[in-house]
Amino acid sequence: MTAKTKLIPLFFALLFFTVLQAQQQFTVLQQERNSTPVSSDLWGSFYELGFGRSDLLWGELLFNRDFENSKPISESNSWYQSFSGDARRANWWHSGYQEPKWQVLTGNQQKLPAPIVNAEYWPTGHGKYFVQIDNKQPDKPIYLLQDSIYLNKGVGYAFEGLFSNGVLISEEKFSANPYPIVVGLYPMGDFNKAAAAVVINVNTNQLVQYKAQIPAVAQDGWYSFAIEVPAGFNIAIDQLSLMPDDNVNGWKRAPVERIKNELRPKTMRMPGGCFTSLYNWRDGVGPRALRPVSYDTWWNCELVNDVGSFELVDLCRAIGAAPFFCIPVMFNNEFNAADWVDFCNNPNNQQRIAYGRKEPLHIQYWELENEPYRRYDAITYAEQCAKFAKAMKAKDPSIQIAAGNYWLFNKKFKEMLDIYGPYVDLVTNRGGTPEEMRNDLVILDNYNKSHQRNIRLCHTEFRAPQKRHKNDVDGLNKTENGGEETLFSQAASWEYAMNTVDQYIQFQNMGGSFFTANFTNLTDGWGENLLNNPREGNYLSAAGVAYALVQQLDIVYPLNINSTKANPDLVLQAAWNKERNKLTLLLLNFAANAQTVQIDLKQLGRAFTAMGRGYKIAPPTGKSFNSMKNPTAIKPETFSLPTKNRLSVALPSMSLYAIELDTKK
């Protein structure tokens, strides 16, 4: 026997040993982890006004339609600044993050910055700024334009804007001679012939709202929006709007349909986030043309208030989610909060009825402040919560109110609970680890038993850790390491999606005592999101693909599981459905190599039908991600497998598998 021949048996012996090492034995017990079922509202999400680019879900096609933004959000967003390279080359970048500028095209084909006027307070149509174009050329028009508008064929567009003949101040509303202007959609950069256009005759001295319908274009693609000002005319322009006719109550139809049919979050926290603390709900109700621009925000970007209470509720109804309003506490009072509850829920609220909403909005869930530690100590915040909750429930006793106990305040949770416990219904631990939350549940259980309450735990701004076993980042995942491996790049990855599912499994294992985890963000929050909305389409992020798959599983009663050895890279969830006639197995393999899992179901004492249904997501690496160029790089696949009392499942590296087994009748 040659030396080479002698090595062959040794090779196979080592291979057999390696296979044995890669196997993990699990035994599913007929022992439920909790006495209460998993919350049916567990899978929630989050919509924050203004921060990142969550407004890309709104149907408006014109960026900075009021000419108000003094600097791009990318310059005021410190998360964005932590990315050291060219963001346009990042894996999370898409056309929705572009911020096209307003320009004028002169008669000699020069593109110049738009002549934006800062009128301070006199005179102006909306906000602090407007555009004034005085075309003194004898025979050539001037165009006010914005490039990079993506349009779909067959869809018409509703246009509106404030226009004046340039006089602005007069005792007369109407001028003697109308100014004909052309509002058009042009092939990108080509103003020789409009693809679709409408003529508006401006005959008012003050800035007055005009509306028109622009017909559909013949082809999908990129266009320029432009207003043609004829030679010799002086015109003022403000508060422009271009909305597709197929919008859903102002929201873009295609992504709303995806959220409704694929993601299906059960609760939706809004309007912040950071925008909560300085948010004035009164600015977001009534006719949109009369809503003020809000300049005082944490992130130095203006809110036009197109989206307010009605629009947020309409979004929730369109996607089947329950609104979870977050109200300011640090910089406002309990009377303001109570008024908002009354406006939303009182059947006889005259202001809401006057604005065309006869039926109440029925907002059940309300959270008290976003990050109260910015101004309060733990006890002062707890006292404020008690004061606010009493005032709000005086308007509607049926509402459920959430108070926070997170970060520094968690050390004082018992003392805080003694103060606000009689008045609140939910406690949110944002950024807390699952271990910390399990300790919260022990405290809540003791309090509930001794005070005859049923206060539940929740997580109203949930983000998974970027690195599963590292605790060197705060609850915001904000890392500054000088490279591309920042929040944005990591949050777009499949690894982050796996971490998200791992966390939700731990929430499920807490049973009905844990109410909801609102994933941050629903859409386009600079990387952390479930759905991306480029101008030319939409796609699920890696986390969105995992979220859509796992939240549709019928996991109601998680079961206890024994394993032969501890392997932190393997996660198994086994759970009955409500009727306990379907078993769902959810498996995660975080290891760098494939793993074979043996699952023993004998102790369940149940017989299953011959074939089980399976779903798997197994992209090439944990760094894989979806993009507009490849929107299905990460996608679920289905498979079938024979059902036995002992299953053997081979899991590729960084993979998620879900298996559904029906019991025999």
Round to whole Å and give the CA distance between 254 and 258: 6
pLDDT in tens, 259-291: 999 999 999 999 988 889 999 999 999 999 899
pLDDT in tens, 299-316: 777 889 999 999 999 999
Per-residue CA distances from 406 to 20, 108, 298, 371, 429 (Å): 44, 60, 20, 9, 5
At residue 15 the predicted structure's pLDDT band, cuts being 50, 70 and 90, is: very low
Strand partners, 662: 582
Report whether 430 contacts 475 (CB < 8 A): yes
Strand partners, 457: 427, 514
Range 43-95+247-528+540-550: architecture per CATH: Alpha-Beta Barrel (3.20)
630-635: average pLDDT: 97
At residue 21 the predicted structure's pLDDT band, cuts being 50, 70 and 90, is: very low
Backbone dihedral region for residue 506 (phi beyond 0: left; psi -120 to 50: alpha; all else: beta)? alpha
- Helix 434-451 to helix 413-420 angle (10° resolution) is 40
Q: Is the pLDDT of residue 20 over 70?
A: no
pLDDT in tens, 187-245: 999 999 999 999 999 999 999 999 999 999 999 999 999 999 999 999 999 999 999 99
Strand partners, 270: 325
* CATH 2.60.120.260 domain residues, the chain: 100-244
Q: Is the pLDDT of residue 163 over 60?
A: yes
What radius of gyration do the chain's Cα atoms show?
28
CB atoms within 10 A of CB 396: 18
Round to whole Å and give the CA distance between 283 and 98: 27
pLDDT in tens, 633-644: 999 999 999 998
Per DSSP bridges, beta strands 116-118 and 129-134 are: antiparallel
Taking the whole predicted model, whether its pTM rises above 0.75 is answered as: yes
CB atoms within 10 A of CB 446: 12
At residue 80 the predicted structure's pLDDT band, cuts being 50, 70 and 90, is: low
DSSP 634: S
Q: How much is the mean pLDDT over the chain? A: 91
* CATH 3.20.20.80 domain residues, the chain: 43-95+247-528+540-550
CATH number of the domain at 100-244, please? Answer: 2.60.120.260
Round to whole Å and give the CA distance between 177 and 232: 13
**Three-state secondary-structure class, residue 327:** strand
What pLDDT is recorded for position 538?
97
What pLDDT is recorded for position 51?
62
Q: Is the pLDDT of residue 579 over 80?
A: yes
CA angle 385, 387, 393 (to 5 degrees): 95
Q: Is the pLDDT of residue 471 over 90?
A: no
413-423: average pLDDT: 98
What pLDDT is recorded for position 486?
65
What percent of the chain shows pLDDT beyond 70?
91
240-255: average pLDDT: 97
What pLDDT is recorded for position 121?
77
What pLDDT is recorded for position 488?
78
At residue 71 the predicted structure's pLDDT band, cuts being 50, 70 and 90, is: low
Least confident piece of the model among 85-94, 200-209, 233-242, 411-420: 85-94
Question: H or E stretch including 16?
Answer: helix 3-21
Q: Is the pLDDT of residue 122 over 80?
A: no
pLDDT in tens, 545-561: 999 999 999 999 999 99
Per-residue CA distances from 454 to 41, 71, 214, 446, 457 (Å): 16, 47, 55, 11, 10
Q: Is the pLDDT of residue 5 over 50?
A: no
Q: Is the pLDDT of residue 537 over 70?
A: yes
Distance, CA of 551 to chain centre = 16
DSSP 291: P
pLDDT in tens, 429-453: 998 899 999 999 999 999 999 999 9
What pLDDT is recorded for position 312?
97
Q: What backbone torsions phi and psi does residue 501 show, to the nearest 5 degrees?
A: -65, -40
Per DSSP bridges, beta strands 103-105 and 157-164 are: unpaired
Least confident piece of the model among 333-337, 419-423, 528-532: 528-532
CATH class of this structure's domain 3-32+556-662: mainly beta
At residue 125 the predicted structure's pLDDT band, cuts being 50, 70 and 90, is: confident
* Residue whose structure tokens are 């001794």: 450
Q: Is the pLDDT of residue 477 over 60?
A: no
Report whether 462 contacts 42 (CB < 8 A): no
Per-residue CA distances from 570 to 78, 567, 586, 653, 656 (Å): 35, 6, 11, 10, 10
Q: Distance from first CA to last CA of the chain, Å, rounded?
A: 60
pLDDT in tens, 484-521: 556 778 889 999 999 999 999 999 999 999 999 999 99
Q: Give the DSSP per-residue string, 194-222.
A: -SEEEEEEEEESS-EEEEEEEPPPSS-EE
Round to whole Å and give the CA distance between 376 and 384: 9
Report whether 501 contacts 656 (CB < 8 A): yes
* CATH 2.60.40.1180 domain residues, the chain: 3-32+556-662
588-596: average pLDDT: 97
Quote the tokens at residue 133: 């174009």
